[in-house]
Structure 1
């Protein structure tokens, strides 16, 4: 009697490849960079795309301020404190001050401007602040380059430029503006009246920052007091790049940089602690 062959063992299923995680679950590359870029484009369209002239107005506004300063003071005094051109003297002071002022004011309102978008997990308060800082910093720097270049062409000056001090002054303006704006962003969010108080406190800042004069023109008592205004150091450093005979020995890069970084560090710490409180109001 023949024996039946044993039944063949069932075939094993082929080895399965591990399932790929869904695309939605993958961490997006450069997510923060994309968010900041999107916020920058949004502000560009809302701030410059909906107004007549757009970016042209961003150039005409400081240009008008410089022209009015030059015309007004040329009727009162014969020559500026440095050189012979009122346009160049006031442009070198006003543009550095205006860069700080623009960054500080726009950064301070970053959360209010992007508050609807901050409800999404992909958008953080850091993105909102960085977007406003990058856009206004680049816009202000480009505007300063155009206006200063145009001023040098119009006055037909043989000015010997020293770019490193001028570039350093603009960079310090941006750091100081970011620090003051970040701290004010927290204070304005927690205490709405601080926005009014800050506007009153800083109203004389234009006169105290060396825009229409140089540090050496001040009496000794005023020099001792105003030395602690970091913007006075920035305008003096800015002018050393356009006036070879001017040294601005009083200007301290370390003091300005430390002031900006301390304000920025304090603002970041407070924002990390209280940003949810501000957004839930």
Structure 2
């Protein structure tokens, strides 16, 4: 009598994990679609505003400063100079702000067992990261095409800037997501203490333009490293020596670690507030 063929035994635990991962993926996708319809689906123009808002700010900056200065700190295009500073800042600002408000935005849905706080954060991270990358690509491509700057783009620094900006926005956003839920006044305090970032992140100047005493202070702003790295990809003769990818990475990961730790420990308290 021939032996029966060996059939692969089913593993209920592995099947359960696959089922949970599939359900979590569907939940994240549903949350992303919900935010897309909420933020852009109800306004005229929809997603067009995601491009027009930063583009309008860059054009205003370029036009305004061109009336005051003969040339920007790098190159001869004011619009390209301010775009390479404004776009990383805008991506960080939008991502950190939306991630920080993930629980409040999805709080009614978090009452259901199938939706977790991690799903809410992941959905906003993915949607706003993809949106920011797309906006950055469209705006920079349009500027290079219309201005005829003859810039040869090095994509290595550009990709590295986008990755680090997303990591920084994610880390700060997760930490603030916990702190906003635990400390009522923290939202207002954070808004006040970070207001100077727009002026201190290298949008209007380069690090080398500043006196040494100011450089020593500004170096600790991770956004200044990102704007310098972005401009390194658009200006071949610009080789900033102050940039520390290690510092930005550690700053981001430490913020992310403590944010996840606080959310894991106190997410129920935050939901019940």
Would the TM-score normalized by the shorter structure come out above 0.5?
A: yes
* CA distance in structure 2 between the aligned counterparts of 1:176 and 1:71, rounded to whole angstroms: 30
Query: 1:14 corresponds to which residue?
Result: none
Confirm whether residue 38 of structure 1 aligns to residue 41 of structure 2: no
The two structures, once aligned, show a CA RMSD in angstroms of: 1.3
Residue 267 (structure 1) aligns with: 259
Residue equivalent to 1:63: 55
SS at match of 2:150: coil
Give the whole-Å Cα distance in 1 for the aligned partners of 2:35 and 2:42. 10
Q: Give the whole-Å Cα distance in 2 for the aligned partners of 1:49 and 1:192.
A: 31
Q: Does 1:120 align with 2:109?
A: no
Aligned pair partner of 2:166 in 153, 164, 174: 174
For the pair shown, the structure with the greater C-alpha radius of gyration is 1
For residue 241 of structure 2, the aligned residue among 249, 257, 271 is 249
| Cα deviation 1:228-262 (Å, max 9, x = unaligned) | 00000000000000000001110011110111011
The answer on 1:158 being equivalent to 2:153 is no
How far apart, in 1, do the equivalents of 2:163 and 2:64 lie?
30
Q: Does 1:190 align with 2:169?
A: no
Equivalence map 1:195-210=2 (5 Å): 195-210=187-202
1-structure distance, mates of 2:257, 2:20? 28
Q: Runs (4+) of structure 1 moved beyond 6 Å? A: none
- 1:29 and 1:260 mapped to 2: Cα distance? 26
Deviation at 1:192? 1.7
By percentage of residues, which structure has more helix?
Answer: 2
The equivalent of 1:216 in structure 2 is: 208
Structure 1 residue 28: Cα displacement:
4.6
Q: Give the deviation of 1:29 after TM superposition.
A: 5.1
1:44 Cα deviation from its structure 2 partner: 0.4
Match of 2:272 in 1: 280
Determine the C-alpha separation between the residues in 2 that align with 1:29 and 1:238.
36
Unaligned ranges ≥5, structure 1: 1-20
Partner of 1:135: 127
Deviation at 1:200?
0.6
Partner in structure 2 of residue 72 of structure 1: 64
CA distance in 1, matches of 2:204, 2:133: 21
Aligned counterparts of 1:107 and 1:29: Cα–Cα separation in 2:
21
**Equivalences, count:** 258
Structure 1: distance between partners of 2:84 and 2:130: 17
**Alignment correspondent of 1:12:** none
- Give yes or no for the alignment of 1:97 onto 2:89: yes
